């Protein structure tokens, strides 16, 4: 069964601190992995995408890593800001003609001043 597991479920950090969110997946055949940011009451917005051959991708203060051998990904947020408070969702896409990705449940991040 294709699954995406994220940890921790929720995280509280102080403004300015760094944090790392984890994603483990069992999706096969793998095509790509995205991290989305979802603000409360809004739709998800893509932060990064990585394919099988990529092991790191940055977008400003967000850096995603991918280990396709262990089927793990992480999202590192540097120097957190209050606006980083959101849910971060890991999404894995399939290859071979299926256009329905598998979503994780998300990690809820709260950044306190």
Partner 1 sequence: DTGVSQNPRHKITKRGQNVTFRCDPISEHNRLYWYRQTLGQGPEFLTYFQNEAQLEKSRLLSDRFSAERPKGSFSTLEIQRTEQGDSAMYLCASSLARRGNDNEQFFGPGTRLTVL
Site for partner 1 in 59-78 (CB under 8 A): none
Alpha helices in the chain (DSSP H): none
CB 75 within 8 A of CB 86: no
Angstrom distances, CA of residue 105 to CA of 24, 61, 71: 12, 22, 17
CA distance 24 to 90: 9
Chosen residue from 2, 22, 24, 32 binding partner 1 by CB under 8 A = 32
Chosen residue from 35, 44, 57, 66 binding partner 1 by CB under 8 A = 44
Chosen residue from 18, 46, 58, 81 binding partner 1 by CB under 8 A = 46
CB of 16 to partner 1, least distance (A): 27
Round the CA-based radius of gyration of the chain to a whole number and report it: 14
Total of chain residues touching partner 1, rule CB under 8 A: 23
Q: Quote the tokens at residue 111.
A: 């950044």
Contact set with partner 1 (CB under 8 A): 4, 32, 34, 36, 41-46, 49, 51, 89, 91, 93, 99-101, 103-106, 108
């Amino acid at each position: 069964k294709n699954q995406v597991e994220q940890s921790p479920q929720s995280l509280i950090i102080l403004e300015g601190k760094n944090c790392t969110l984890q994603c483990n997946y069992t999706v096969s055949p793998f095509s790509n992995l995205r991290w989305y940011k979802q603000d409360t009451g809004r739709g998800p917005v893509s932060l990064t995408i990585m394919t099988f051959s990529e092991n790191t991708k940055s977008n400003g203060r967000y850096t995603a890593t991918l280990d396709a051998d262990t089927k793990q990904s992480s999202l590192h947020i540097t120097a957190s800001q209050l606006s980083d408070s959101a849910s971060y969702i890991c999404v894995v896409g399939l290859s071979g003609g299926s256009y329905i990705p598998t979503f994780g449940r998300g990690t809820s991040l709260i950044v306190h001043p």
